Structure formats: structure tokens, C-alpha cells
Chain A
Amino acid sequence: GESVGLHLPTLSVQEGDNSIINCAYSNSASDYFIWYKQESGKGPQFIIDIRSNMDKRQGQRVTVLLNKTVKHLSLQIAATQPGDSAVYFCAEPGNTGKLIFGQGTTLQVKP
């Protein structure tokens, strides 16, 4: 079956350090991946996406890396700030056209 999973449910980092959040996917035919950020009590917000014809995409302080060989996706946040504290989800389109979401990683930023 299809599944999208994150390696760690919780990640704790020091303010100013870089954060790396990982995601493993099972569908080798997936051609599009999205990262969402969900702050407490709010809806998920789009952060960045990547197509399968790329292995890296950069945004403002965020970078997504895609390794299709091992079906692994990561989100890197540079100089992590308190405002980055949230739950991060990866998502990919399923066979029926819906998005399949991972379980989420909670990022805690220590001052």
C-alpha cells in the first residue's frame, strides 16, 4: 500500500542551529512532494514543494532534498528560530489523486 512516513515524531534543536526533518515514501512512481508546516491550533501551511525531476530545491531558509534511489525526502531549515516550532508534514499524491500525508514531526526550538 501507499504510505508516507517520517523518521522521528519529535526533533528538538537549539535556536540558531540547522534542523533536518526526514520523510520516507513507498511509492516509487511519485513525482511530486510537498512539505507543510502546522502551528498549534492552526491549519497546515505550504512551505515548499519539489518535483521528481529535481533532487534539490531551495526557498527562504528552507531546502528540500529528494533521493529517489532510497525514496527519501528531507526538509532542512537553516538557523532555526522559535517561530519554526511546529509540526511538519510531508505529502505526496496517491494513486487516486489525493494527497497522502505523513504522520508529522514536531520541531521544538530551545532558546
Chain B
Amino acid sequence: DGGITQSPKYLFRKEGQNVTLSCEQNLNHDAMYWYRQDPGQGLRLIYYSQIVNDFQKGDIAEGYSVSREKKESFPLTVTSAQKNPTAFYLCASSIGGGNEQFFGPGTRLTVL
């Protein structure tokens, strides 16, 4: 089955620790995205990548980092510099920018 996966579904970390969220897609999509969603809120773009080995900051990139070494993978690291990291994180992919995005199931990160 083609799709986009995120792991883990729930993640708990202590304050001050870096944590990496996984995102994998086998849709052969060039573009991948990371969003943050807070309770009752919309989607805010953290980082996006339109092609392998290239990525751009979104609207709320501070305290986050990404890499795009492989087409199918776009991991997100939430660093200790992120002031309020507890949120629901969504990864998405698309054929190209501006097209329909396919979303993963999300990772709920809780920082204790």
C-alpha cells in the first residue's frame, strides 16, 4: 500500500531534550512538509522540502531542524530551543508544491 507514515504515534520527552520525529512516504512525491497543530487550531507550517537535499523554513521554524537526505524520508528534530514543543505534529507530501498534500497520521509530542 502506498502512503505516508509517522512514528511514533505518541512521544514523551523531558524538557531540555532533543527529539526526532520520523516521516516516511512511498508515494514517490518530491515535496514533503511538517506542520504543527495546537488544540483547536489550524495547521502551521514548520519546514518544507520541494526536492531532496533542499528545504526551506516555514512560518514557525525556530527551535526545529530537518534533513532531506532521501526522497522518501523527512525527519523533524524538535530541539531544546523550542519554547513550547508540546503539540500534534503532522507530516505531509505532495507531487509538487501547491498540489494536494497527503498527510500522515500524526505524532503527539508531550514534553514533561
- Which residues on A are within 8 Å of B, measured CB to CB? 32, 34, 36, 41-46, 49, 89, 91, 93-94, 96-99, 101-104
Residues of A within 8 A of B42 (CB): 89, 101-104
The segment from B62-70, B74-82, B102-110 found at the interface with A is: B102-110
- How many Å lie between the Cα of A105 and that of B99 in the bound state? 22
**B21 near A: Cβ within 8 Å?**
no
- How many Å lie between the Cα of A41 and that of B90 in the bound state? 11
A46-B98 in contact given A41-B106, A89-B43, A97-B50 (Cβ < 8 Å): no
Q: Is the CB–CB distance between B104 and A43 below 8 Å?
A: yes
Q: Is the CB–CB distance between A43 and B90 below 8 Å?
A: yes
- How many Å lie between the Cα of A103 and that of B104 in the bound state? 19
Tally of chain B residues near chain A (CB < 8 A): 25
Q: Is the CB–CB distance between B98 and A97 below 8 Å?
A: yes
- How many Å lie between the Cα of A101 and that of B92 in the bound state? 13
Told that A97-B96, A104-B41, A104-B42 touch, could you supply 12 new A-B pairs with CB distance under 8 A?
A41-B88, A43-B6, A43-B92, A89-B43, A91-B101, A93-B97, A94-B98, A98-B48, A98-B58, A98-B97, A101-B42, A102-B42
Residues of B within 8 A of A91 (CB): 101
- How many Å lie between the Cα of A41 and that of B88 in the bound state? 8
A42-B98 in contact given A89-B43, A104-B42 (Cβ < 8 Å): no
A32-B103 in contact given A44-B90, A101-B43 (Cβ < 8 Å): no
* Chain B min CB distance to A102 (Å): 7
Kindly report which residue of chain B lies nearest to residue A32, judged by CB atoms.
Answer: B98
Q: Is the CB–CB distance between A46 and B43 below 8 Å?
A: no
A43-B45 in contact given A96-B97, A99-B98 (Cβ < 8 Å): no
Task: List B residues 29-65 near A (Cβ within 8 Å).
Answer: 33, 41-43, 45, 48, 50, 58
> Of B41, B45, B94, B105, which contacts A42 at CB under 8 A?
B105
- How many Å lie between the Cα of A49 and that of B94 in the bound state? 15
Residues of A within 8 A of B50 (CB): 97
